[in-house]
Structure 1
Amino acid sequence: NYDALKAFNEDTQMRSDWTFALCTGEERIKDADGKKAHPTQKPEALLHRVLLSATKPGDVVLDPFFGTGTTGAAAKRLGRHYIGIERDETYAKVAEKRIKAVLPAAPEDLAVMGSKRNEPKVPFGALVEAGLLRPGDRLYCPKGEREARVRADGSLVAGSLTGSIHKMGALFENAPACNGWTYWRFKSDQGLRSIDALRAEIRAGMQ
């Protein structure tokens, strides 16, 4: 779930080392005598991030050292199933009571950002086939200063230059390569918009 963690971290790649506060205060579970119910209770925030990074809603999580159920609580809250193994009956009872009180998030709020690599491939020509762009329409560079025309076969032409959206973007920028989906813009009622928005429309119809 690389993209989900990146979104979690404000569009910055998540580091491999994490820092969390100790499990204290109201989160720390106490027994009837006011003592710690478990000596090494983990903060639920840690399990939240672990599950977010490695699982999806509906997955089953196994914790063979269940303790007071931090994994189970985080799993239930995030819409995951869980199996907990704990030999200490006292800890198991605490875990059962704790998890029973957890309210899971609504299903529509549990979806995580998927990887773009897993999204359906959409050729630029599909936008022309679908009528989202038409032969003769103009596409513009990010600043809107230069333009190229769309052709029926999904290629672009500008003067003597012709090629795919990627090749033409690279030629315009005198660069070795270019991602045409993020480079080219089309005119809309909201001004210039990325053609990637049109690709998203095609993908939405494929699901």
Structure 2
Amino acid sequence: MKKNNNVFPKDLTNTIHLGDAIDTLKTLPDNSVDMIFADPPYNMQIEGTLKRTDGTNFDGIEGNKWDEFDSLQHYREFTYAWLKEAKRVLKKDVSSLWVIGSFQNIYVVGSILQDLGYWLINDIVWSKTNPTPNFMGTKFTNRQETLLWATPAKNTKYKFNYKTMKALNGGKQMTSVWDIPVSSGRERIKDDNGNKLHPTQKPEKLLYNVIVSSSSEGDLILDPFMGSGTTGAMAKRLGRNFFGIERDEHYRDFALKRISSEITIQDDFTKATFDIKPPRVRFWDLIEANYISKDELIYFKKSDKVAKISTKKELEFDGEHYGISKLGGILEGKSTNANGWIVWFVKRDNKYVSLDEIRRKYRQKELGFYGK
């Protein structure tokens, strides 16, 4: 029976429910989930057995009942049903959904997302740096999968830790193409016989990017097709909560064991410190708190252009009174304001100190803010 209190049940938080995705989604309360990551069946339509060039069999997804559908229409109906329930459980004010697929299914998924009123934000290309070769040599080697990122409605806001992802990308704006290898080595989950547990296990780095970019510590992340448990493992590692649904008991048990061994970490990326908006500080706050003396001279870009503290606004220059940004723009010869915090300096012990640096110290000592 569906719960309707808009609060995700505590007894389900950080668990994996054994059951059907659609049936289980129907029991969850409306408007209760911060983010969904879904890796649904791809409807791969593979017939027969794939063979490597040396004649040995390739262990793909063939024979897995969860990826078999009677027809494309059947797959459409399945996709519509789970996306409809996903839309219902996502929070209406701030939330988002990620769904991954390949060329066999992503166009169906995207079409249904729009039919249901989701609002598409981005499509992300997962570019595999170590793709499986095309053994038959009948077409191009497929090295990418696509992630669609959307909100449940046009007016629903979403979290995007832009500055955090930029910092993660070496100071460069992160693009919509992610070069990430397929899970291998120690990361690849093996069963009791030493064989790979799940044929479509997603790499941890992929989920790291998804979770860090679009959620906050403590958020509830739902995965309706939990598989080997990568979403749950990364959610726990990154300080988020999770709820998973998995129909295969074998996968569910291995996923729970995997997640139980995870240790939560905290750093600037998990906390999205780079995206925390610093508290506003006025120029006169620094003066009133004695971080800048009323008698100090203020230097424009470490030059001989010098202003005094104004008794009417912020700075006095050539007998006129200005704000630090307005005067900075004028001295730069622009018709717009400059960033007054970075163009003005004080001189202490024969060294120039920017107003921005003084403001940073004020935020730390007076406001307890240590963000980026």
Q: So what's the TM-score if we normalise by structure 2? A: 0.52
Higher helix share goes to which structure? Answer: 1
Q: Which consecutive residues of structure 1, in runs of 5 or more, have no partner in the other structure?
A: none
Q: Which residue number in structure 2 is paired with residue 159 of structure 1?
A: 318
Contact 1:135–1:152 (CA under 8 A) maintained in structure 2: no
Q: Which residue number in structure 1 is paired with residue 286 of structure 2?
A: 127
Per the alignment, do residues 40 and 59 of structure 1 end up closer, same or farther by CA in structure 2, a change over 3 Å counting? same
Within 1, Cα distance between the matches of 2:205 and 2:353? 38
Deviation digits for residues 50-93 of structure 1, max 9, x if unmatched?
11101122222111111111011111111111111111101101
Q: Which residue number in structure 1 is paired with residue 328 of structure 2?
A: 169
2:225 pairs with one of 48, 65, 83? 65
Deviation digits for residues 19-62 of structure 1, max 9, x if unmatched?
21111122111212332200100000111111110112222211
Q: CA RMSD in A?
A: 2.1
Within 2, Cα distance between the matches of 1:115 and 1:65? 30
Larger radius of gyration: 2
Identity %: 39
Per the alignment, do residues 153 and 162 of structure 1 end up closer, same or farther by CA in structure 2, a change over 3 Å counting? closer
Within 2, Cα distance between the matches of 1:20 and 1:68? 18
Q: Out of 71-80 and 158-167, give the one that drifted further.
A: 158-167
Q: Pick 1 or 2: higher relative contact order, CA cutoff 8 A, min separation 6.
A: 2
Within 1, Cα distance between the matches of 2:259 and 2:171? 32
Q: Which residue number in structure 2 is paired with residue 113 of structure 1?
A: 273
Structure 2 residue 177 is matched with structure 1 residue 17 = yes
Q: Which residue number in structure 1 is paired with residue 198 of structure 2?
A: 38
Structure 2 counterpart SS, 1:37:
coil
Contact 2:313–2:321 (CA under 8 A) maintained in structure 1: no
Within 2, Cα distance between the matches of 1:66 and 1:190? 61
Within 1, Cα distance between the matches of 2:290 and 2:313? 12
Structure 1 counterpart SS, 2:273:
coil
Higher strand share goes to which structure? Answer: 2
Within 2, Cα distance between the matches of 1:14 and 1:109? 14
Aligned letter for 1:206?
L
Aligned letter for 1:85?
I
Q: Which residue number in structure 2 is paired with residue 100 of structure 1?
A: 260
Q: Which residue number in structure 2 is paired with residue 206 of structure 1?
A: 367
Q: Which residue number in structure 1 is paired with residue 21 of structure 2?
A: none
Within 2, Cα distance between the matches of 1:61 and 1:46? 15
Contact 2:168–2:269 (CA under 8 A) maintained in structure 1: no
| Deviation, structure 1 residue 122 | 1.7
Aligned letter for 2:163?
D
Within 1, Cα distance between the matches of 2:269 and 2:172? 22
Alignment of 1:3-14 (within 5 A): 3-14=163-174
Aligned letter for 2:362?
I
Q: Out of 106-115 and 95-104, give the one that drifted further.
A: 106-115
Structure 1 counterpart SS, 2:253:
helix
Deviation digits for residues 125-156 of structure 1, max 9, x if unmatched?
11111111122211112233322112244511
